[in-house]
A and B are shown apart, each in its own frame.
Chain A
Amino acid sequence: MRVVEKRQLLSADEISRTLKRLAHEIIEKSGGTTDLALLGIRRRGVPLAQRLAKLMRDSTHVEVPVGTLDITLYRDDLSTVGPQPVLHSSEIDFPVDGRDLVVVDDVLYTGRTIRAAMNALFDLGRPKRIRLCVLIDRGHRELPVEATFVGRHVQTSGTEIVEVRLQEVDGEERVMLVDRVP
């Protein structure tokens, strides 16, 4: 099995413009930002959530707290073959009770990660509302999960992979569509 790059879905510039739009949308549609908080899902949701918070601060001077969520313990695909995935900390410095949470991830695919994230959040408290913001929605849902804020909808086949590459994690900035070929 080889992995080949098929095409670029978003350039660095397009990622930046998309995030700007998403930051505006979140503020517009939240009906007040008092309880608003962003939670980035490890790994690439974390820098995205931080960037969204910075954009909100720069454009509207709204200070939105940002937390980090590691969902490994809540995954439903553990104990397949091989060692267990390495755990990371969730870093959430504010109580989630009564919060208006926006969970941030790079790609929405089967919906299983978001299911895990919601389970993790309910162990921490009772948020007032949970919405989802993703950079790419690539379809192929296996659970009834939809995102409230979507950067770009992309049609994909089951063998294709959407790779979001971010400066903070990958040292480059673009979104690629790659394919697995036998």
Chain B
Amino acid sequence: MLQRSSHLLEIEGLTQAEILFILDQAKPFQEFQRNPLKKLATLRGKSVALAFFESSTRTRISFATAAARLGADTMSLQAESSSLKKGESLVDTIRTLEAMRPDGFVIRHASSGAAAFIAQRVDVPVLNAGDGMHEHPTQALLDALTIRDRKGKLEDWNVTILGDIIHSRVARSNIHLLSKFGAHITLCGPSMWVPREFEAMAPNVRCTARIEEALEGADVVMVLRVQTERLHEPALSPDDYILRYQLTPERLRLARPEALVLHPGPMIRGLEIDPSVADGPQSAVLEQVTNGLAVRMALLYHLIGRAPADAPHPAKDRSNASD
């Protein structure tokens, strides 16, 4: 199922069967998290370079923990302490890490396409941990796993995504994934964040600025983080946002009674989500975290665990590498 590529760069190009394979392979790792002894030796001797050019706490810790529990070592590059601050180019940084002979890369970068760019220049598997406004594939996979577990199936749900859609790679990956499984997707937020172009991304995607309309009949509600610095792009005060778009218990009642509430984190309580919704019985935010670990373990097992191909990587051509 993952035979076609040794990388995980995006959801868009994956087939339904490939996605289901990854979710199925995460299941043994979900059970593994309940073991008293959470340490395998499966990837012993392997090392994974965690190259986070953009700051990240949860995704980095999740990948680092996933690698550690499989027995792999990690080498970690973090944006705050990165030599990028000193002006080193992306390619030079990657080559430096590559010279330490990692068996795979996990890449987080502020530029769309960064993970694919690196995948063309290294011989080992690359996992995209979020690239600009493009995709965050492991987030969509862990969301799908959470939906399938909590609601019994992945197909044909009404899914509402609330917030800053245009800047969100989480939204894009989720739209790609869920629309492959017949979802009807409603995108909702201030109109500057929810351009109509999204309706062309997949069948059955619609945009609205009215939260009441967006929530009616929803089976799954995904709340995105609101970055307050972006609220000023066209002016909208946090108070206005709360008033018009916060997911409150009253608004959640417009959705189906058993609707599931997801949030990729970090969650700003009292801004995009009311604390009683975040902690309520419909919320699965902590399951998302545990499932993220399981999905990332499954991906590392299948991608990093595989023996390196003895032939040189066909896409690799350093003479054409541009910074």
Contact = CB atoms under 8 A, between A and B. Distances in A.
Q: Which of B3, B35, B298 has the most CB of A within 10 A?
A: B35
A88 B301 CA distance: 13
Contact of B40 (A74, A79, A83, A88): A74
Nearest to B70: A73
B306 interface: yes
Contacts of B25: 86-87
Main SS of chain A's interface residues? loop
A80 B29 CA distance: 22
A84 B301 contact: yes
A87 B70 CA distance: 14
A32 interface: no
Interface in A97-136: 119, 122-125
Contact of A79 (B27, B38, B305): B305
A125 B39 CA distance: 13
A17 to B, nearest CB: 35
Interface string B1-38: 01100000000000000000000010111011001111
A122 B41 CA distance: 13
Nearest to B306: A84
Interface in A75-99: 78-84, 86-90
Given A70-B28, A90-B28, A90-B31, A84 B36 contact: no
Nearest to A88: B28
Contacts of B36: 123-125
A73 B39 CA distance: 11
A91 B309 CA distance: 34
Nearest to A76: B41
A84 B37 contact: no
Contacts of B302: 83-84
A78 B305 CA distance: 7
B28 A82 contact: no
A53 to B, nearest CB: 22
Contacts of A70: 28
B28 A73 contact: yes
B307 A123 contact: no
Contacts of B35: 123-124
Contact of A73 (B3, B27, B40, B307): B40
Contacts of B40: 73-74, 123
A46 B28 CA distance: 17
Contacts of A124: 35-37
Given A73-B42, A123-B37, A81 B28 contact: no
B96 to A, nearest CB: 25
Given A73-B28, A89-B27, A82 B37 contact: no
Contacts of B301: 73, 84, 87
B305 A84 contact: yes
B20 to A, nearest CB: 12
A33 B280 CA distance: 45
B3 to A, nearest CB: 6
B37 A89 contact: no
Given A123-B37, A124-B36, A125-B36, A81 B307 contact: yes
Interface string B186-222: 0000000000000000000000000000000000000
B37 A83 contact: no
B307 A79 contact: yes
Contacts of B42: 73-74, 78
Contacts of A81: 307
B4 to A, nearest CB: 11
Contact of A83 (B2, B29, B39): B2
Nearest to A123: B37
B296 to A, nearest CB: 14
30 contacts: A73-B28, A73-B40, A73-B42, A73-B301, A74-B40, A74-B41, A74-B42, A78-B42, A78-B305, A79-B306, A81-B307, A82-B307, A83-B2, A83-B3, A83-B302, A83-B306, A84-B302, A84-B305, A86-B25, A87-B27, A87-B301, A89-B27, A89-B31, A90-B28, A119-B41, A122-B37, A123-B36, A123-B38, A123-B39, A123-B40
* Interchain residue pairs A-B with the least CB separation, the first 5: A123-B37, A87-B28, A73-B42, A84-B305, A79-B307
Given A79-B306, A82-B306, A119-B41, 9 more contacts: A73-B301, A82-B307, A83-B306, A84-B305, A87-B27, A89-B27, A122-B37, A124-B37, A125-B36
